């Protein structure tokens, strides 16, 4: 018998929705692959909102989701860890830096996208978090086809190598927190 797992994400914009929504589902499939149960990962339910509406968005998602995710930064770290809404864990997506750093970690993925400029990308995935202005590096990396940078977020979400992302410390921390939450919920 299979168990459904519906993840929820409170995002801050369309690009973030496209990238993180896909990466969350992919990583959950990877984490639950060895589960003693058959786990059906549903599509990530996403609510975009500003910071002041986050609690309302979390409560809305908690009604339908088994596991909730929201962006966090170093100033917020610890405030959301272990918080539970209606028996659902809230797992921060990012502990340090910005979401864009995850987009910059996989040079091989960008090399496969014709027209990408790899010049400013970090040599090692873990160095992505050291980039002072990830938005500027991302804008310089994407192919020039008249598209906004956010138009590439879905492509990256679908094509980024999760093993490469796991070399980024903030991503590795998120995966560890997610694994612990899945254990707490009985999925692992």
pLDDT digits (tens, 9 = 90+) for 139-166: 999 997 678 888 899 999 999 999 999 9
Same domain, 173 and 86: yes
Residues 6 or more apart in contact with residue 161 via CB below 8 angstroms: 106, 108, 109
Residue from 82, 123, 103 nearest 170 by CA: 103
Ranges under pLDDT 50 in the chain: 74-83, 92-97
Give helix 169-184 / helix 14-32 axis angle, nearest 10°: 60
Gyration radius (Cα) of the chain, Å: 16
What gap in Å lies between CA 27 and CA 47, rounded to an integer? 19
pLDDT at residue number 150: 87
- Let me know if residue 80 belongs to a domain: yes
Domain limits for position 137: 100-149
Per-residue model confidence (pLDDT) at position 51: 76
Based on the domain organization, do 39 and 81 belong to the same domain? yes
Residues 67 and 26 in one domain: yes
Are residues 91 and 23 both part of a single domain?
yes
Provide the pLDDT for residue 95. Answer: 33
Residue 12 inside a domain? The answer is yes
Query: Is residue 87 domain-shared with residue 118, that is, in the same domain?
Result: no
- Looking at the fold, whether 73 and 107 belong to one and the same domain comes out as no
CB neighbours of 32 closer than 8 A, spacing ≥ 6?
5, 39, 41, 182, 187, 188
pLDDT at residue 72, as a whole number: 57
Q: Do 16 and 54 share a domain, yes or no?
A: yes
Give the span between the Cα atoms of 80 and 115, in whole angstroms. 40
For residue 11, give the nearest of 28, 24, 27 by alpha carbon: 24
Give this prediction's pTM. 0.85
| Same domain membership, residue 143 and residue 54 | no
Q: Hey, what are 100's tokens? A: 């864009």
Of 115, 109, 80, 74, nearest in space to 95 by CA: 74
Are 77 and 112 in a shared domain?
Answer: no
Do 85 and 107 fall within a single domain?
no
Residue 155 within any structural domain of the chain: no
* pLDDT value of position 45: 93
φ/ψ of 2, rounded to 5, equals -100, 155
Give pLDDT, residue 88: 54
**Residue 67 is part of a domain; what is its CATH number?**
3.40.50
Q: How many domains does the chain have?
A: 2
């Amino acid at each position: 018998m299979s168990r459904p797992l519906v993840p929820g994400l409170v995002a801050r914009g369309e690009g973030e929705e496209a990238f993180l929504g896909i990466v969350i589902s992919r990583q959950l499939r990877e984490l639950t692959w060895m589960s003693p149960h058959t786990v059906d990962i549903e599509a990530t339910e996403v609510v975009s909102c500003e910071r002041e509406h986050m609690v309302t968005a979390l409560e809305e998602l908690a009604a339908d989701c088994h596991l909730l995710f929201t962006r966090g930064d170093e100033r917020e770290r610890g405030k959301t860890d272990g918080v539970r809404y209606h028996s659902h864990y809230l797992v921060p997506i990012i502990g340090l830096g910005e979401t864009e750093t995850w987009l910059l970690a996989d040079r091989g993925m960008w090399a496969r996208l014709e027209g990408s400029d790899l010049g400013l990308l970090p040599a090692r995935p873990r160095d992505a978090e050291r980039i002072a202005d990830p938005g500027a590096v991302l804008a310089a990396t994407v192919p020039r086809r008249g598209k906004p940078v956010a138009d590439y977020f879905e492509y990256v979400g679908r094509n980024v190598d999760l093993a490469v992302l796991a070399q980024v410390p903030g991503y590795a921390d998120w995966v560890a927190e997610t694994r612990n939450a899945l254990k707490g919920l009985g999925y692992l």
